[in-house]
Structure formats: structure tokens, C-alpha cells
Structure 1
Amino acid sequence: MEVGHESNLVYALVYGCILALGLPLNAVSLWILLRRHSLKSPSVVFMVNLALSDLLLAISLPMRVYFYATGIWPLSNEACVWTTMLFRNNIRSSSIFITFISVDRLLAVLYPLRSRHLRTASNALKAVVLAWLFVCVLNIPERLKFSAFIKSKNHSTCFEFQHNVSHNNSNPQYHKSVFTYLPSVLGLTLLAVNIVCTTLVSWTLRRHLSDLARVNNKVNVMLIFVINLMMFTICFLPLAVFLFLYGLPVSTPLECLASFNCVLDPLLYYFSLDAFWKNKEDIELAREQ
């Protein structure tokens, strides 16, 4: 069962809008983070990698838009596989980096002094390297299955793996395994971590409502967690639940929804960093004063 032409045009339009918004927003955000903020802060390390992940997603979108608009894949099968994996990498890596940001903010609010030895740039760099390695390893089984499926097709196509196998669970190219459910379990686990972080921080801020020295801007702190939960609930949760219930590759509508996170992520940079638009020299001077 193939996706109808009208549905393909809708997908092309949605991905085109995400590309038009996500590419400049994340390119500018990455430039500001690297130029105006040093990588000495764990928050900046996580946000730089989140912006990089979103840019990789945006790079994969032009060919996806072209395919859904024309119904033709002009490149090789291997290019289709790499484009698809680059796209799905963002969904997994973004959810991990967003959770890192939530945990980092949780430690900063609940344990500002005791967590200093943990909340370092070097530890943050180690965490993001492990996250990228984990995402790459997680993609290996899916990449092999997708590559085998694409090679078995008699016509030039791409991004259709999910439509064929979802209507035929006995497809010899597709067998359920622990790797089938691992992405959904990962997504649901990270969502649970974000819920716990939000609850603990909200409870702490209520207890220290008058302690302005403890948290400089409580509204911004809570907005960080609200944005994180909103992205998980809107973008990642439907995809994770679908995978958990059916154990099948994600459907195109849910992929569209998940990819919208690259448009929302720049909100995190604005609310997470003090003086986001200021030079790092100005920030250090303000701290000294």
C-alpha cells in the first residue's frame, strides 16, 4: 500500500516549512552559542550539540521534500539509507540532549554547590560523546534492515520502508527484536526523567519562593522544563508510544511531528542562558560585579 499523491504533497509542504524555519534558526543559534558563549559551561556544551543535531536534521530535509513533491528518488539507494538515518538520528539525539539539559538544570537548582564537581564542561563533553556513540550503535540494526528493503525494490524509491512493513508484519525483510522496541523504551524513559526533574524543581522553587539568591530567574527556570516537556509530549511521545505498541518502524505523520522539535529547540537557548545575545566578555564582567 503506497502513500497517496495528495498525502505526499502534504508531507512535502510540512517538511518544507520545517526546513525553512529550522535551518536558519538553528544556524544562527549555533553561531551565537559558539561565538558569544564559551564551552566552559555544561549547558552550552549540551545546547551546541542539540543545535548541531537539529542542523543535521535540516540537512536531510531537502531531498525528503523533493521526493514527496515529485515521487522520484534521484540518488542511490545508499544515499537514501544515509539520509533516513541522519533524519532519525536527530529524533534520538535531540531527546537525549534535552534530557541532559533538564538534569543539569535540576542539579543547579537543587544542589548548586554539591554538584559543581559534576557539572563541568569536561563531564558534559564525555556525556555527549557517549550519547552520539549510543545513537550510532542504535541505528545499526535499523540501517541494515532498511538497506535490505531498499535493495529489494524494483523501482527508485525512498522513505517507504515504514508503509510497506506496517501493513505486513510477516514481511521477511522485517523481524521484531529487542532493537525494534529499544528506541521507544528510550523515549519513554527520557520522558519519565524529564517529568521527575520538572516536579522536583517546581517543588523546590515553591519552597524557596523568597530566596532570590538561590535562583536568579525562576520564571525562566520553569520555562526551560515546560518547553522540554512540551517537546517530549508533542514531538516524541506519539512516536514512542506507536513503536512500543506495535513494534514497527515509525509512520510518516509521526516522523513529521517528531521533526518539528528542531523548530522549538531554539527556545531553550534563549531561556536557558543568561544574556543569550551578549558577548561572553560582557557576561563575565557582569558576574564579577
Structure 2
Amino acid sequence: MLSDTVGNSYKTEPHPEDRVYAGVFGCIMVIGLPLNAASLWILLRRHSLQSPNAVLMVSLAVSDLLVIISLPMRIYFHATRRWPLSNMACLIITMLFRNNLWSSAFFITFISVDRLLAVVYPLRSRHLRTSSNAWKGAAVVWLFVLIMNVPGFMDLKHFKNRNNTTCFGPLDSMSATQSAVIYFQMALIVTMLAVNIICTVMVSWTLCNRPSDTAKINNKVNVMLIFAMNLVLFTICFLPVQIGLATKSFAHLTPLVCLAAVNCCLDPLLYYFSFDSFWKKKEDAIKEGEM
């Protein structure tokens, strides 16, 4: 999603905005790391992975932690305007950041679809909403984001003339391959946003117009908060940076990358709203995961 790694126009001294970017990434890491680590620990210890919802939440938490792992080098780069490692290391760290934002978008969409099936089609979807299918879906997501790396590694010529001051600098240009990938990613993001909107509308309609069918749902407010959070994450974190790439607004790309990384701090709210009690024991979580 984030191909913000080409350019050679930055000076060696940090610009004032670079220190802002370093501070933003630092805050995201300081807040997101303990939140996601604690969330992952609670999900694994207190909730059974026999619930498809819990499987997707664990996958999302792992995805967020992988994004956070890539932040220290971004912080160092923006604070010093120097890249101490090789160009290949820059490419790998950029792709780690980019790929796991993509996986977050997929897992958030899967969570919306899972909640849709649980609320709107609780009986007919029982054979679909299994932990086995959730694990298969997670495996497909990770495989897909890895495949999306192939064009980047095949286009290494854009990294040959790089120096130690331009790793995360703005794009100067894009190859035809990069442009095609960006447009494909834009279509994919819009499609996932549309899926989240449809899920939100259908669940909202069901909760309002079929109360007898949703009587077993303990906290309908939390259900709607999940969908509201998903839409916020897409419209604020994922969509703007993709629009920036598609419209070649490279000069303003880094602030959008900062905005995209904020999802690591917001995702833990999904874990809390997804369960009536985030601290429930495993046996209770299994029963809840059926809803």
C-alpha cells in the first residue's frame, strides 16, 4: 500500500517536519506496542481460538505488532535524515510496513463479514463461521500480501541510485509496474470499504427491524461500534494514503503514512467492543463467538 521509498532530493539535515514525523511515529509505537501486546496476550489467554472472531482478532493484533516493529527505523531516519542500512534493507522494512497495513485492512473486512453473518444469518452461517475457516482465511491474506511484494522486488532499479539520506523520502516518479499496482490496490481498498459499508447497513437494519432475531445479542451498541470503528479505520487510515499514491500527491505522502500507522493504536478498541467482556474466560468466549 505504501510505496513511499523512492526519491533523492532530501538534504542530510532533518527538516522541521521530519522531527514532527519522528515524534508521531514515536507516539504510535509507544502507544500501539503495549496496547497490541496486551491485547494479544488477553486474546490468547482469555479467549479460545475455537471462535472465528477470536482467530481474526489475534491475526489483526499480530499484523499490528509487525507494523510497529518497522517503526523504529522510520523514527531514526526522520530524526537524523540518515539511513544506516542497505537499500535492500530499506525496501524490506518498507514492505513490512506496507504489507501489514494491507493485512490489517483485510482482517478488519473479515471481522465485518463475520459479524454480519453472526447477526443477520446466525443459523445458516454456522458451517461457515468456524475457526478452521478463519485460519484458512488468515493464511490466504498473508499469502496474498506476500505475493504483492513481487512487483516491488522485480523493480529494484529504482533503488540502485539511492543514498543514505533518501530511504523514506517522497516518490519522484513511478514505473509503469508500480502505477499498475497502485491502481489495483486503490480498487481493492475501495472494494473492501464498500464491503464494510454494506455490512454496516445490513447489520444496522437487522438490529432495528428484526429485534426477535437478534434477541440473543447482549450488547447491540457494541456491535454497531465495531462497524463504526471499521469504517473510521478505512476512511481515515487506509483510504487517504492510497488516494495520495493514486493521484501522485507525493509531496504530502509522509503525513498520510503517519495517519495510516495510527490504525495500530485504534485496532485494540475493536477487541474490546467485540466481546461483551474483554476479560471473559475461554469457555464463555466460545459461546459468545457463536454469535
Q: Tell me the TM-score normalized by structure 2.
A: 0.88
For the pair 1:39 / 2:41, whether they are aligned, the reply is no
Partner of 1:264: 266
Gaps of 5+ in 1: none
- Show the counterpart of 1:104: 114
Tell me the TM-score normalized by structure 1: 0.89
Describe how 1:1-289 pairs up with structure 2 within 5 A. Answer: 1-2=9-10, 5-145=15-155, 147-155=156-164, 157-160=166-169, 162-165=170-173, 176-209=178-211, 213-246=215-248, 251-281=253-283, 283=285
- Equivalent pair of 2:102/2:145 in contact (CA under 8 Å): yes
How large is the Cα RMSD of the aligned pairs?
A: 2.4
Q: Give per-residue Cα distances to partners, 1:37-62, cap 9 Å, x unaligned.
A: 11101111111010000000111001
**Which letter maps to 1:216?**
N
Q: Is the 8 A contact 1:9 1:69 kept in 2?
A: yes
Instruction: State the distance in 1 between where 2:67 and 2:16 align.
Output: 24
Instruction: Report SS of the residue matched to 1:265.
Output: helix
SS at match of 1:102: helix
Task: Note the C-alpha offset of 1:250.
Answer: 8.4
Conserved in 2, the CA contact under 8 Å of 1:220 and 1:272? yes
Cα distance change on mapping 1:155 and 1:224 into 2, 3 Å: closer
Deviation at 1:208, TM superposition (A): 2.5
Contact 1:180 1:247 in 2 (8 A): no
Cα shift at 1:100: 0.1
More displaced, 32-41 or 262-271? Answer: 32-41
Q: Describe the SS at the equivalent of 1:163.
A: coil
Higher relative contact order (CA 8 A, sep 6+): 2
Gap runs ≥5 in structure 2: 1-8
Q: CA deviation at 1:154?
A: 4.2
Q: 1:116 to 1:286 in 2, by over 3 A?
A: closer
The CA distance in 2 between the partners of 1:199 and 1:127, in whole Å, is 24
CA–CA separation in structure 2 for the residues paired with 1:185 and 1:243: 12
Q: State the percentage of identical aligned residues.
A: 58
Q: Which secondary structure state, in structure 2, belongs to the residue aligned with residue 164 of structure 1?
A: coil
Distance 1:92 1:82, change over 3 A: same
What per-residue deviation string (whole Å, max 9, x for no partner) do you get for residues 161-217 of structure 1? x3322xxx6xxx665543231111111110000000001111111102466624221
Task: Give the Å deviation of 1:156.
Answer: 5.0
Quote the Cα distance in structure 1 between the aligned partners of 2:198 and 2:288.
33
Structure 1 154/248 Cα, relative in aligned 2: closer, same or farther at 3 Å?
Answer: closer
How much has 1:72 moved relative to structure 2? Answer: 1.2
